[in-house]
């Protein structure tokens, strides 16, 4: 028992030492739409709905995923620490430690040193740095932790294991669909390792849950929608992933030069690279068949990759897909370690682990923030457009606008039809027009050129349509702006920003009634203080002062620290009070003026020295006197 505690302490120390510099990192790309900007994780009452509606996975319904237990973990983190990143990182690190411990127990059943070897490999291998540092990759590590726990329960061969195993497996499926490979791993262990009779009664619950899970994601349309959005056909997918297997093998064995977006392109023809990759894979497979242990661990790695090999995904290859194959590799090396002369290879093994630990520490630094992450990805002359798009975004957020423009243009040099790159480049010109009145027209014309180019590739792209309309409105070309936004609303009738912008345009075109209709439709789609304020302004233009006052109150309730709506409310209440007094309702007039005085006092608290508020408050005091 004392030895086990020492080994556990060593594994804990290894994990903490390797990832001590990871806790001060930041959120990254997919984290923003699925976590930071996702309102659904901020309320515990939404948890039951996670298990029903895949669209709650993201603020963008187009990025729906069915991962309810992952969302529960996000909701837990948010409830405990809001958006403090260290809390999410500690959770990810604890999940990784759980995987390390589970592998240590699995591999240690036959040999204490074999278990320690497997645990240290998984603890320190640089491949694990992405699931620890990237919050969204928790989906991988948490699913793997539950899968390994299910495998441990299966190995118990008692009543408790028979009950807990399927339950834990169900949890893994509700984190991420990659866990569906567990029944295959259990069957593989029977035929490749245990080599004994196959008992369906022990395996049936796992296969039954797999079938039920597939039926569920078909029913809630997650599977159908995902396949409908597949970026390539099955033929191209198989050719591409044939190369990917070689890339994954190299990355597992020589984990240097890791990148969040490796240099890798899709294949659509049977070329020399595909043939060479297939020959290498066949050679590795032939070697793996030489013994029952290599059959099992080689089969483990292949099964672990099977979902992403068969299902076409937007990202061709990435590191976190190797997290479960790494577990199989660690188990295999742990089994091999107990069968050799360990003394002769002890120090080379220690050196290898220390090198991996150093690479992991270095990789953590690259994951520190968006700029460091994408700078590292681009440093070797990457020709992947997405690398330069995200690098441009990070540079833009840091105020380094000329460098951001260069990054977007590099992305376009590799892929002229890259929508995010061209849209973001256009946005830079649009923002420059807002900041520089002298060059405004020039910048707006450049923005319009880029938005128009985007729309040649994708005529219905929502963001480009919306921003193109804004650019035309700033130039004073109201008919063209209206034409663009009518097209945008015809294609995207539930886009609140387009309704809001159309409302602003209608006010400028002296059509306040039409503006009100668009503001109200925008508010049906999303409650926003700015929309309420503009609605109030339009209502004032029509003389509907009581409704305007209510709109300003709604804006204030949503954004109490904003002085503009408070001042507008005061102005409206002053006029309403005058009308009440003219009708002989002195008490009602006094009530309106008292409300105006409170609003003006709030304005002066928010913006001391506000000249118009001071003047109005002085006039009101004299009027009340």
Over range 157-186, report the average pLDDT: 94
Over range 122-127, report the average pLDDT: 96
Q: Is the pTM of this model over 0.85?
A: no
Answer with the residue of higher pLDDT: 376 or 292: 376
| pLDDT greater than 90 at residue 170 | yes
What pLDDT is recorded for position 564? 93
| Sign of the C-alpha dihedral computed for residues 407, 408, 412 and 417 taken in this order | positive
Give the model confidence (pLDDT) of 606-616 as tens digits.
Answer: 999 899 999 98
Contact 232, 311 (CB under 8 A): no
Contact 273, 267 (CB under 8 A): yes
What pLDDT is recorded for position 60? 82
What pLDDT is recorded for position 111? 63
d(CA 48, CA 75): 12
Contact 248, 328 (CB under 8 A): no
Over range 38-62, report the average pLDDT: 90
Give 293-346 as a 3 state SS string: HHHHHHHHHHHHHHHHHHCCCCCCCCCHHHHHHHHHHHHHHHHHHCCCCHHHHH
Burial class (CB in 10 A: 0-12, 13-18, 19+), 138: buried
d(CA 368, CA 22): 7
User: Could you write out the DSSP letters of every residue in 81-122?
Assistant: HTT-HHHHHHHHHHHHHHHHHHHHHHHTTT-HHHHHHHHHHH
d(CA 485, CA 451): 13
What pLDDT is recorded for position 394? 94
Q: How far is CA 137 from CA 47, 142, 581, in A?
A: 20, 9, 65
Position 385 confidence tier, pLDDT thresholds 50, 70, 90: very high
| pLDDT greater than 80 at residue 194 | no
Contact 121, 62 (CB under 8 A): no
How crowded is residue 235: how many other Cβ atoms within 10 Å of its Cβ? 12
What pLDDT is recorded for position 341? 63
What pLDDT is recorded for position 256? 92
Structure tokens at 296: 């099992």
Over range 23-44, report the average pLDDT: 90
| pLDDT greater than 90 at residue 254 | yes
Position 63 confidence tier, pLDDT thresholds 50, 70, 90: confident
Over range 15-35, report the average pLDDT: 92
d(CA 137, CA 165): 24
| pLDDT greater than 70 at residue 38 | yes
| pLDDT greater than 80 at residue 112 | no
- Specify the DSSP element, H or E, that contains 451: helix 440-457
| pLDDT greater than 90 at residue 286 | no
What pLDDT is recorded for position 371? 95
What pLDDT is recorded for position 369? 93
H helix runs in 220-322, sequence order: 222-228, 234-253, 272-288, 292-310
Give the model confidence (pLDDT) of 528-565 as tens digits.
Answer: 999 999 999 999 999 999 999 999 999 999 988 889 99
Give the model confidence (pLDDT) of 214-246 as tens digits.
Answer: 999 999 888 888 888 888 888 898 999 999 999
- Least Cα distance to 367 among 388, 392, 394 occurs for 394
Q: What's the alpha-carbon Rg for the chain, to the nearest Å?
A: 30
Average pLDDT over the chain reads 91
């Amino acid at each position: 028992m004392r030895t086990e505690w020492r080994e556990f302490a060593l594994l804990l120390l290894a994990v903490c030492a390797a990832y001590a510099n990871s806790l001060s990192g930041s959120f990254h790309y997919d984290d923003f739409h699925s976590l930071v900007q996702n309102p659904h994780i901020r309320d515990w009452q939404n948890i039951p709905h996670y298990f029903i509606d895949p669209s709650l996975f993201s603020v963008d319904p187009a990025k729906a995923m069915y991962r309810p237990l992952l969302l529960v973990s996000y909701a837990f983190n948010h409830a405990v620490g809001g958006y403090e990143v260290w809390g999410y990182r500690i959770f990810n690190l604890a999940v990784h430690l759980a995987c390390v411990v589970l592998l240590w127990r699995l591999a240690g059943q036959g040999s204490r040193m074999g278990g320690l070897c497997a645990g240290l490999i998984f603890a320190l291998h640089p491949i694990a740095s992405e699931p620890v540092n990237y919050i969204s990759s928790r989906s991988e590590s948490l699913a793997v932790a539950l899968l390994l726990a299910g495998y441990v329960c299966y190995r118990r061969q008692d009543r408790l294991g028979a009950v807990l195993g399927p339950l834990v497996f169900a949890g893994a499926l509700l984190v991420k669909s990659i866990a569906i490979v567990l029944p295959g791993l259990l069957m593989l262990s029977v035929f490749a390792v245990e080599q004994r009779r196959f008992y369906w009664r022990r395996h049936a619950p796992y296969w039954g849950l797999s079938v039920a899970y597939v039926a569920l994601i078909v029913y809630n349309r997650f599977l159908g929608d995902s396949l409908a959005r597949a970026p390539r056909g099955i033929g191209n997918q198989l050719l591409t992933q044939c190369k990917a297997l070689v890339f994954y093998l190299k990355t597992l064995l020589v984990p240097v030069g890791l990148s969040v977006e490796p240099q890798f392109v899709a294949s659509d023809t049977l070329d020399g690279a595909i043939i060479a990759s297939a020959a290498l894979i066949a050679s590795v497979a032939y070697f793996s068949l030489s013994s029952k242990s290599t059959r099992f661990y080689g089969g483990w790695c292949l099964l672990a990759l099977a979902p992403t090999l068969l299902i076409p995904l937007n990202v061709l290859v990435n590191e976190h897909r190797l997290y479960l194959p790494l577990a199989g590799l660690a188990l295999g090396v742990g089994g091999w370690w107990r069968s050799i002369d360990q003394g002769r290879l002890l120090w080379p093994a220690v050196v290898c682990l220390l090198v991996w630990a150093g690479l992991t520490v270095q990789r953590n630094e690259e994951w520190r923030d968006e700029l460091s992450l994408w700078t590292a990805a681009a440093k070797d002359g990457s020709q992947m457009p997405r690398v330069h798009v995200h690098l441009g975004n990070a540079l833009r957020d840091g105020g380094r606008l000329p460098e951001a423009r260069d990054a977007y243009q590099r992305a376009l040099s590799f892929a002229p039809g890259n929508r995010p790159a061209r849209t973001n480049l256009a946005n830079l010109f649009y923002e420059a027009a807002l900041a520089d009145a002298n060059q405004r027209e020039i910048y707006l014309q450049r923005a319009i050129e880029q938005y128009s180019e985007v729309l040649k590739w994708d005529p219905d792209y929502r963001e480009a349509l919306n921003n193109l309309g804004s650019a035309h409105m700033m130039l004073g070309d109201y008919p063209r702006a209206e034409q663009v936004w009518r097209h945008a609303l015809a294609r995207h009738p539930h886009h609140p920003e387009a309704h809001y912008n159309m409302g602003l345009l209608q006010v400028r075109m002296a059509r306040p009634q039409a503006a009100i209709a668009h503001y109200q439709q925008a508010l049906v789609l999303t409650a926003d203080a700015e929309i309420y304020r503009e609605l109030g302004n339009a209502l004032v233009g029509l003389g509907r002062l009581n409704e305007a006052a209510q709109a300003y109150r709604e804006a204030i309730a949503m954004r109490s620290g904003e002085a503009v709506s408070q001042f507008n409310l005061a102005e409206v209440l002053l006029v309403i009070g005058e009308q009440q007094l003219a009708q002989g309702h002195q008490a009602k007039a006094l009530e309106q003026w008292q409300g105006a005085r409170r609003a003006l006092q709030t304005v002066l608290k928010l913006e001391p020295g506000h000249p118009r508020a001071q003047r109005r408050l002085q006039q009101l005091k004299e009027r009340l006197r």
